[in-house]
């Protein structure tokens, strides 16, 4: 790190190196702190007055989960007697050693690996005036350090009159314990794995499509034994062969065939099935999601219209179907009049009597029951590391989406793993 460079690079190693160069004071202000800088502060605290070292951080569970710091690093500072102030929502960062200082952007390890590239500029060098101003406005402890380093009485008076901009309060023991318990109960994700997954997570996700109660044309009823078995002990009449009956005709106006066809088009054109280790998952490219959701909305509108229009027509169609089944079995019933028919209508029941008896035996659902069962649900899930590790996953993606730059994505995935 060049002392005269205005734009420069700071990572945990460089910050730790900078801290160890301290001869009088160290001030660190950032969302949180990694172990290397924390250990460096502990090391210099053995040769400096601990009152000349101070830390301002956002002591919050969310900050740890984002990867701005480590709870063990906070504990190390606290156990070493270094002053720590809790500054809620602090997201900018400042490191001042003696009379030199830098403003820098810390890395959230959940989002990206900390870079060691010297041209990955994330910091700017502060002027001596800015260093003093920052100390005086950061906290009462930092202001004390600035005043102690002031060369004149006028300068000390000026600094003492400056307001403190950053709200802070001393960190408490209970705060650390609460964070430790929370992280233990719900451990943060492995940052290295999270970054690998995010390579593919930005490009695709699982999608689950369920369309239930839609195939009205495939709904059947079972012919009851009271009808089907008539004549069974004689010549096994043809009626025995008809055990089930489609409730509505495939071409009827109540048929949901067009809805199913539209859904199949959405599935086939906008999603793809990728087969994995003994199972398969349906995927959706993120760039196609807006079109997918628009198409699903249009289909939902069609379903609603179908439900509104089909109910009355479906009632008539079900009645017609029931009559059709009854007419089919009428000859069988007349040739083998059941005792229940004779008991109710006499020894020689009419065709109408037999038709009514057959209808009573057939249990048909109501139209509104069938229509209300129709439901389209869509569920999304992000890709997982376990999926990405499956042998042949990339090859399957290439087959499913041959025009996508999966080689580039896989190179990024491998690079993230190597950095780990």
Q: Say if residues 40 and 20 touch (Cβ distance below 8 Å).
A: yes
Q: Say if 2 falls within a structural domain.
A: no
DSSP-derived secondary structure for 220-238: EEEPPHHHHTTTTTTT--G
**Pairwise CA distance, residues 226 & 341, whole Å:** 11
Alpha helix positions (H), 139-253:
140-149, 153-161, 173-185, 191-201, 225-228
Q: Say if 183 falls within a structural domain.
A: yes
Give the pLDDT of residue 127. Answer: 93
Owning domain of residue 179: 7-188
| Domain shared by 286 and 175, yes or no | no
Q: Say if 259 falls within a structural domain.
A: yes
| Domain shared by 219 and 117, yes or no | no
Q: Say if 1 falls within a structural domain.
A: no
Give tens-digit pLDDT for 241-270: 456 666 666 656 667 788 889 999 999 999
**Which residue is it, tokens 């008991």?**
343
Q: Say if 37 falls within a structural domain.
A: yes
Q: Say if 48 falls within a structural domain.
A: yes
**Which residue is it, tokens 């065709």?**
351
| Domain shared by 200 and 175, yes or no | no
3-class DSSP state for residue 148? helix
| Domain shared by 298 and 411, yes or no | yes
pTM (two decimals): 0.63
**Pairwise CA distance, residues 202 & 310, whole Å:** 41
Q: Report the run of H or E that residue 210 belongs to, with start and end.
A: strand 204-212
Q: To 10 degrees, the CA torsion angle through 357, 360, 362, 363?
A: 180
| Domain shared by 206 and 63, yes or no | no
**Pairwise CA distance, residues 315 & 254, whole Å:** 9
Cα of first residue to Cα of last residue in the chain, in angstroms, is: 24
- Which of 138, 160, 188 is where one domain is finished? 188
| Domain shared by 166 and 215, yes or no | no
Give the pLDDT of residue 405. Answer: 82
| Domain shared by 86 and 200, yes or no | no
Give the pLDDT of residue 42. Answer: 96
| Domain shared by 37 and 78, yes or no | yes
Question: Looking at residue 26, which CATH number applies to its domain?
Answer: 3.30.870
Using the 8-state DSSP alphabet, how is residue 112 labeled? S
| Domain shared by 129 and 44, yes or no | yes
Domain count, the chain: 2
pLDDT along the chain (420 residues), means of 10: 78 96 94 97 92 93 95 95 93 95 94 84 94 91 87 91 92 91 88 81 90 68 79 48 62 74 94 75 93 96 81 75 86 89 90 90 78 82 82 83 81 64
Give the pLDDT of residue 236. Answer: 44
- CB count within 10 Å of CB 406 equals 21
| Domain shared by 156 and 250, yes or no | no
| Domain shared by 225 and 144, yes or no | no
| Domain shared by 175 and 240, yes or no | no
**Pairwise CA distance, residues 58 & 72, whole Å:** 15
- Which of 123, 153, 188 is where one domain is finished? 188
16, HSE (Cβ side, Cα atoms, 13 Å): 14
Q: Say if 408 falls within a structural domain.
A: yes
Give the pLDDT of residue 216. Answer: 62
Average pLDDT, the chain: 85
- Which of 188, 219, 248 is where one domain is finished? 188
Nearest to 95 by CA among 11, 159, 4: 11
Q: Say if 36 falls within a structural domain.
A: yes
């Amino acid at each position: 790190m060049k002392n005269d460079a205005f734009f420069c690079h700071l990572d945990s190693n460089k910050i730790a190196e900078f801290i160890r160069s301290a001869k009088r004071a160290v001030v660190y202000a950032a969302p949180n702190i990694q172990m290397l800088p924390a250990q460096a502060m502990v090391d210099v605290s053995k040769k400096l007055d601990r009152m000349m070292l101070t830390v301002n951080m956002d002591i919050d569970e969310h900050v740890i989960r984002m990867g701005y710091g480590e709870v063990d690093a906070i504990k190390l500072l606290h156990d070493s007697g270094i002053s720590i102030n809790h500054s809620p929502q602090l997201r900018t960062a400042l490191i001042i050693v003696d009379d030199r200082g830098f403003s820098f952007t810390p890395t959230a390890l959940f989002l990206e690996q900390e870079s060691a590239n010297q041209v990955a500029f994330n910091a700017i060098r502060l002027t001596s005036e800015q260093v003093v101003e920052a100390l005086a406005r950061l906290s009462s402890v930092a202001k004390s350090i600035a005043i102690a380093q002031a060369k004149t009485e006028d300068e000390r008076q000026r600094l003492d009159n400056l307001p403190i901009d950053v709200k802070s309060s001393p960190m408490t023991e209970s705060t650390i314990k609460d964070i430790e318990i929370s992280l233990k109960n719900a451990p943060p994700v492995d940052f290295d794995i999270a970054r690998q997954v995010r390579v593919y997570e930005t490009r695709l996700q699982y999608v689950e499509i369920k369309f239930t109660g839609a195939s009205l044309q495939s709904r059947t009823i079972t012919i009851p034994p009271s009808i089907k078995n008539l004549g069974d002990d004689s010549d096994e009449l043809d009626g025995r062969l008809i055990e089930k009956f489609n409730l509505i005709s495939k071409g009827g106006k109540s048929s949901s065939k067009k809805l199913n066809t539209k859904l199949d088009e959405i599935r086939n054109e906008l999603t793809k099935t990728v087969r994995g280790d003994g199972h398969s998952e349906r995927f959706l490219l993120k760039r196609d999601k807006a079109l997918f959701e628009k198409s699903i909305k249009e289909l939902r509108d069609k379903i609603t219209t179908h439900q509104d229009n089909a109910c009355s027509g479906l009632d008539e169609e079900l009645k017609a179907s029931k009559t059709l089944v009854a007419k089919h079995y009428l000859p069988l019933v007349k040739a083998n009049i059941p005792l229940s028919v004779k008991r109710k209508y006499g020894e020689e029941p009419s065709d109408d009597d037999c038709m009514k008896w057959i209808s009573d035996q057939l249990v048909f659902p109501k139209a509104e029951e069938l229509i209300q069962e129709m439901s389209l649900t869509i569920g999304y899930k992000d890709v997982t590391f376990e999926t990405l590790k499956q042998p042949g996953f990339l090859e399957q993606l290439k087959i499913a989406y041959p025009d996508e730059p999966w080689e580039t994505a896989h190179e990024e995935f491998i690079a993230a793993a190597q950095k780990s």
